[in-house]
Chain A
Amino acid sequence: MHPAFSVILLTTLIGAGQGLFLALFTGQLYSSIKLIEAQGADFYAGGSTISLLLLIAGLGASFFHLGRPERAWRAASKWRTSWLSREVIVLPLMMAVVFFYGLFHYIGWTEPFYVAGGGILPIDVTLVLGFLGVVIALALFVCTAMIYASVKFLEEWHSPYTVGNFTFLGMASGFMLAAAFSAYLGNHLVGFYGTWAVIFTLLALGTRTASLLRNATLKHKSTLQTAIGVRHRQIVQKSQGFTGGSFNTREFFHHQSPEFLKLVRLAFLVLVFPLPLFLILISYVLQSPTLPIAAFLVQYLGLLAERWYFFAEARHPQNLYYQSIA
């Protein structure tokens, strides 16, 4: 498939935004039961702002993928059958939750109205909203991934690994960003978020490696024989019917050499997994305020390569019909 930068940016930016929100709420949950140091309103409001900006930037990027962005509102109508439609509904919900979560922290609606668990867990408005946000963030990961995983013709994508990759990679980058944000503010949560970022990065490494291995030995269902219905082992296309390009020759192929693909794969395997882990571990040892930021940026750069490769790797059966110009 042709890797469109609008979609690469959309999926990576909102993934980091959702992950950051999940990180903020995880921090709130831990601090409300006094497991980690409590943070002020600025931390949650600031973090929510960054998360919201990432979600807005992702949504903005997605508009560049549309031929008719002015009609985008129509995309919410077929949520019964289309994962794309479901994403279009859940993404604004996510943005609303993040906005109000940050706002309620900012204006200080954090007085507990009920204390659960025998005086252990104080529940306030932000905790309830945050819990709702967790459900929505996870739903958004599933919706985004299922857009790709549900297309059975793209067999490289049609696997539960796709959902795992989108979720774990998004959470890894989000928690990495939370660690970077904590390092920037100079609070004591770098180690806490860094640990979670390492855990999610390792989970993502598991699912991503599994999907790479699966796709390396994937045997495609369609062949030139089934494409034109002629039973012969040797069929060659002599003409695709036109000499110039068409939508079919542009949209479904990356137009890069196999060597370039291998290079991108190597790049993301280094930039997403070992390098950020190394940087975050070093920053923990050195107590560095800048290395977690570098770790996030390196991992995000790697995620761009990862998403590019995700698209380029998928082979669409329609390419069987477009192999020879004349």
Chain B
Amino acid sequence: MTQLALVIDLNVCVGCHACVTSCKQWNTSGWAGPMVDENPYGADPTGTFFNRVQTFEVGSYPNTETVHFPKSCLHCEEPPCVPVCPTGASYKREDNGVVLVDYDKCIGCKYCSWACPYGVRELDEMQKVMKKCTLCIDRITDQSLPERERKPACVLACPTSARLFGDVHDPDSEVSVAIRERGGYPLMPEWGTKPANHYLPRQKTRMHISEDELQRADNPLTKEDITVYTGEETIDDVTW
């Protein structure tokens, strides 16, 4: 079985919100109709978004670290939002594991949003139905697009390639390898929702240089030279 998902690399996310705006642009102009924006230029703007980038500060000054944290539907393998839906509008696709809402069946009771611990479902205040990330289902399943474009809008927009997209059930896929080799983890594992999306942790890049790397310890001329020098020009000075 296929389970499509995103793997988000917190190590390279710079918090530019390009995924947020590209998501909004693609999905607001798509087949499901616009995603509401009320007072977009007013004092109190509000609207529906599938994807948000949040910022957290870890630690206390001066030992702080800024973590930019993109958050969208995690397409759980055990989605708690699906069984609570009274109409069957909320469902998980059998063929690729994407969790979707049938906007024509949704009655806008908001019960599914209560049953999601991640807060990734948002009621569209204009259409009065629940909306959520579709992994750009209209795009990734569109066979008329060239294959490299069959990816969610956020993935294509990310300037640092912090967002990987693929099948997390295929052990050899780019996303599975990334999760396996770079410590990918799910959010709120305590609930047993088994999120398909994973996050790659931040990593410190450190270079270790030892003493013997600073001077050439294996210089053959040095090895053969048994003369004791006391301040005058040595053979190392003249060799290189």
Q: What residues of B have a CB within 8 angstroms of the CB of A239 in the complex?
A: 54-55
A236 CB to nearest B CB, Å: 5
Partner of A78, one of B47, B88, B115, B189: B88
The distance in angstroms between the C-alpha atoms of A247 and B46, with both chains bound, is 8
The distance in angstroms between the C-alpha atoms of A237 and B118, with both chains bound, is 15
**Is A246 an interface position by the 8 A CB rule?**
yes
Number of interface residues of B (CB under 8 A): 61
Interface readout for B58-74 with A: 1 if CB under 8 Å, 0 if not?
A: 11100000110101000
**Is B146 an interface position by the 8 A CB rule?**
no
The distance in angstroms between the C-alpha atoms of A66 and B88, with both chains bound, is 15
B191 & A221 in contact (Cβ 8 Å cutoff) = yes
B207 CB to nearest A CB, Å: 24
The distance in angstroms between the C-alpha atoms of A256 and B78, with both chains bound, is 34
Interface range on chain A (Cβ under 8 Å from partner): 35 or more
In chain A, positions 193-220 with a C-beta closer than 8 Å to chain B are none
In chain B, positions 43-90 with a C-beta closer than 8 Å to chain A are 44-49, 52-60, 66-67, 69, 71, 80, 83-89
In chain B, positions 91-144 with a C-beta closer than 8 Å to chain A are 105-111, 113-119, 121-123, 125, 127-129
A226 & B188 in contact (Cβ 8 Å cutoff) = yes
Binds B, one of A27-35, A41-49, A301-309, A315-323: A315-323
The distance in angstroms between the C-alpha atoms of A318 and B81, with both chains bound, is 13
Q: What residues of B have a CB within 8 angstroms of the CB of A71 in the complex?
A: 87, 105-107
A54 CB to nearest B CB, Å: 22
Interface readout for A41-64 with B: 1 if CB under 8 Å, 0 if not?
A: 000000000000000000000000
**Is A40 an interface position by the 8 A CB rule?**
no
A322 & B109 in contact (Cβ 8 Å cutoff) = no
**Is B185 an interface position by the 8 A CB rule?**
yes
Q: What residues of B have a CB within 8 angstroms of the CB of A257 in the complex?
A: none
Partner of B58, one of A76, A150, A234: A234
B84 & A151 in contact (Cβ 8 Å cutoff) = yes
B114 & A67 in contact (Cβ 8 Å cutoff) = no
The distance in angstroms between the C-alpha atoms of A68 and B102, with both chains bound, is 13
The distance in angstroms between the C-alpha atoms of A1 and B199, with both chains bound, is 28
A68 & B129 in contact (Cβ 8 Å cutoff) = yes
**Is A227 an interface position by the 8 A CB rule?**
yes
**Is A288 an interface position by the 8 A CB rule?**
no
In chain B, positions 174-198 with a C-beta closer than 8 Å to chain A are 185-191
A240 & B54 in contact (Cβ 8 Å cutoff) = yes
B114 & A236 in contact (Cβ 8 Å cutoff) = no
A67 touching B108 in the complex, CB below 8 Å, given contacts A75-B86, A241-B20: yes
Given A222-B188, A230-B202, A238-B56, 8 other A-B contacts at CB below 8 A? A74-B87, A75-B87, A82-B86, A84-B109, A230-B56, A241-B55, A242-B52, A244-B46
Q: Which residues of A contact B (CB under 8 A)?
A: 1, 65-69, 71-72, 74-78, 81-85, 88, 147, 150-154, 221-222, 224, 226-230, 232, 234-248, 251-252, 316-319, 321-322
15 A-B pairs, CB-CB below 8 angstroms?
A68-B128, A69-B107, A78-B88, A85-B86, A153-B114, A153-B116, A222-B191, A228-B199, A229-B199, A232-B59, A236-B57, A242-B49, A246-B122, A247-B123, A318-B118
